Amino acid sequence: MRLEVETSELERIGKAFQAISKETSYEGLAKALLKAALDYSDAGRGAVLLSESGELLTRADASFPRERPKFLASQPPASEFRLPVDLSERVLTRREIVLRDDGWEGSALIDSARCRRGPIVQLCLPLIHRDQTVGVLYLESERKETFGPRYVSVVSMLASQAAVSFESVQLFEALRETNLWMVKGQQIGRMGSYRWNTRTLLSRASRECYRLFDIDFDVNPVPFEVFKSRVHPDDIPALEEALAEAVGTKSPFSHEYRVVHRDGTTLHVAAVGQFDVGPTGDVELEGIISDITDRKAAEQALTDARTELARAIRLASLGELAGSIIHEINQPLTGIIMSAEACLRWLERSPIEPAEARRSALRVIEQGRRAGDVVAGLRTLVRGAQLRFADVQINDAIEEILLLLKRDLERAGVTLNTALDKSIPTIEGDRVQLQQVVLNLVRNAIDAMASVTGKRRVLSLSTKVGGAGVAVVIADTGIGIAPASRDRLFDALYTTKRDGLGLGLSICRKIIAVHGGRLWVEENTPNGATFTFTLPLHQSGSISANH
């Protein structure tokens, strides 16, 4: 029977030791020690204070923890803990274990003392770690017998264990704070760190990386396929290429791409990294991924502003052009008036001077022709050439243009798919002008695909005949058209190209309109643009070229 009691008591002490040594925070340690000490007696009241206001807390490293907080656990909860001066002196400074049973009435637990009267017994022990007093365990009771010698020795052992645990708590707390610091820093900087094993293709990543890629925290490590599923599909080929090259040469990795979240949010990220051998002996890419969406937006705004500026400059130079046109035409006009007045004067002479009058009249004709030439020249400049309507076999006209563009298409890495409807009858139109339209649309398509990397560049050109007439469809897999700019594409001088004039589409639309047809643009699927123009099958009468 006696043996059983001792065994169960030993078990309780063992459990209390375990509970104390399991703690990884100051607060947890203070609470665990107090609970163990109270559970083991009928004291009922007590407190544990870690890092008392003196120089009690040693640091785990130079910077963490940055402050020296106090941790108080008390039963019943007390707002303040104040050791009487003599106790403090003996326990904290002289490191004595003090048992006071001489009818003392002042409790160290400030609030709870108010509800209680009468003498108390106090037991107070220092917590000593590496020769420093890092805390105090305080217990009180009304009964003298509560703190018998056996109890005091068990509680001293618990206090020693708590002081030992203090060391690991210190390390844990420092680690926690360092980690928190790093996580916070990454969160503020919108950047995450990662390690990618090039053999297993698995990645380990910081929390911010998970947020940037919208991956659930429980996916750990992250398989390459999961990571890839968040990369914008258009950016995957280029990313894989960049990764393969970096892995092949073991050179530093640096690449920008887009990330698409499950809710469709798109981010621009910049990844950098370098290779080293990981703990398992595998080659790993270690680096940082940062969110550069804001930077990209700013860059885009700058590009837009530049485009606007370029357009404004072009408009201003059009003003200059108009000025020189006026000058060019004014000269012959003034000449005409002067020559005509001279002619009149020769005719009004008496006798008449027919030879001189004739010469003046000839000058009028000559200058009139000059003015006519200037106007014709300007028209050629603006309209290309005069429209000459004739029977046109549209498929042949297109094939001729494609032959002309063969080298451009090859150079631009564009695959050409044609589907020309052989049943199309001849139509009436200006062959050269219609070819100009096709040439322009194909050139634009090549330009639109030039900046698309890592994906196939395909130009599909088809013709078909239907109720509305002939339709010519030119589809590309280029950058496509932003909805905001769709209405402006056909405006004269609208361009997004550095060297563009912004006249191509507006001229194309005019040419097609003169033919009685329509030209419009739609989105191509999954990406790119589709330009379609229609031409009526039978022109009613001939159309004046001077529209």
Closest contact distance (angstroms) between CB of 495 and ligand ADP is 3
Contact (CB, 8 A) for 277 and 284: yes
Which residues 349-388 are close enough to bind ligand ADP by CB under 6 A? Answer: none
Considering the rule CB under 6 A, would residue 489 count as an interface residue with ligand ADP?
A: yes
Q: From residue 328, give the alpha-carbon distance in Å to each of 323, 335, 372, 485.
A: 9, 12, 11, 36
Residue recorded with tokens 């090259």: 245
Specify the amino acid at residue 141: S
The stretch near ligand ADP (CB under 6 A) out of 40-48, 229-237, 454-462, 473-481 is 473-481
Q: Tell me if 243 contacts ligand ADP by CB under 6 A.
A: no
CA angle 91, 95, 96 (to 5 degrees): 70
Q: Is 461 in the site for ligand ADP (CB under 6 A)?
A: no
Which of 162, 438, 529, 535 touches ligand ADP (CB under 6 A)? 529
Binding mask 439-458 for ligand ADP (x = CB under 6 A): -x---xx--x----------
Contact with ligand ADP (CB under 6 A): which of 497, 513, 522, 542? 497
Pull the structure tokens for residue 390. Answer: 């004739």
Q: How far is the CB of 436 from ligand ADP (least distance, A)?
A: 12
Task: Reduce the secondary structure of 226-257 to three states and give it as a string.
Answer: HHHHCECHHHHHHHHHHHHHHHHHCCCEEEEE
Q: What is the per-residue DSSP string for 313-327?
A: HHHHHHHHHHHHHHH
Asked if omega into 351 is within 30° of 0 (cis), the reply is yes
Q: Does 496 bind ligand ADP (CB under 6 A)?
A: yes
Structure tokens at 73: 């656990």
Residue whose CB is less far from ligand ADP, 24 or 506: 506
DSSP letter assigned to residue 262:
T
Closest separation in Å from C-beta 527 to ligand ADP = 10
Least gap, CB of 488 to ligand ADP (angstroms): 8
Q: Which is nearer to ligand ADP, 333 or 479 (CB)?
A: 479
- Calpha distance 502→307 (Å, rounded): 11
The yes or no reply on residue 313 touching ligand ADP (CB under 6 A) is no
Q: In 3-state terms, the chain is what percent helix, strand and coil (to 5)? A: 50, 25, 30
Minimum distance from CB of 441 to ligand ADP (Å)? 7
Minimum Å gap between C-beta 398 and ligand ADP is 17
* 510 sits near ligand ADP (criterion: CB under 6 A): no
Tell whether residue 502 is a contact of ligand ADP (CB under 6 A). yes
Say whether residue 430 binds ligand ADP (CB under 6 A).
no
| Site membership for ligand ADP, residue 315 (CB under 6 A) | no
Size of the site for ligand ADP (CB under 6 A): 22
Nearer to ligand ADP, 296 or 314 (CB): 314
CA distance 505 to 6: 98
Q: Which stretch binds ligand ADP (CB under 6 A): 17-25, 140-148, 337-345, 475-483?
A: 475-483
User: Toward ligand ADP, which CB reaches closer, 139 or 512?
Assistant: 512
Q: If DSSP codes are grouped into helix, strand and coil, which group holds residue 406?
A: helix
From candidates 302, 419, 501, 513, binder to ligand ADP by CB under 6 A: 501
Integer Cα distance of 164 and 155 in angstroms: 14
**Of residues 49 and 507, the one with the C-beta less far from ligand ADP:** 507
Interface pick for ligand ADP out of 384, 500, 516, 536 (rule CB under 6 A): 500
Task: Say if CB 459 and CB 418 are below 8 A apart.
Answer: no
Which residues, in sequence order, are CB contacts of 259 under 8 Å at separation 6+? 212, 213, 214, 230, 231, 232, 266, 267, 268, 269
**Binding to ligand ADP (CB under 6 A): which residues in 61-80?**
none
Question: Any idea what the Cα angle at residue 459 is, between residues 485 and 532, rounded to 5°?
Answer: 55
Please give the residue ranges that form the binding site for ligand ADP (CB under 6 A): 440, 444-445, 448, 476, 478-481, 489, 494-497, 500-506, 529
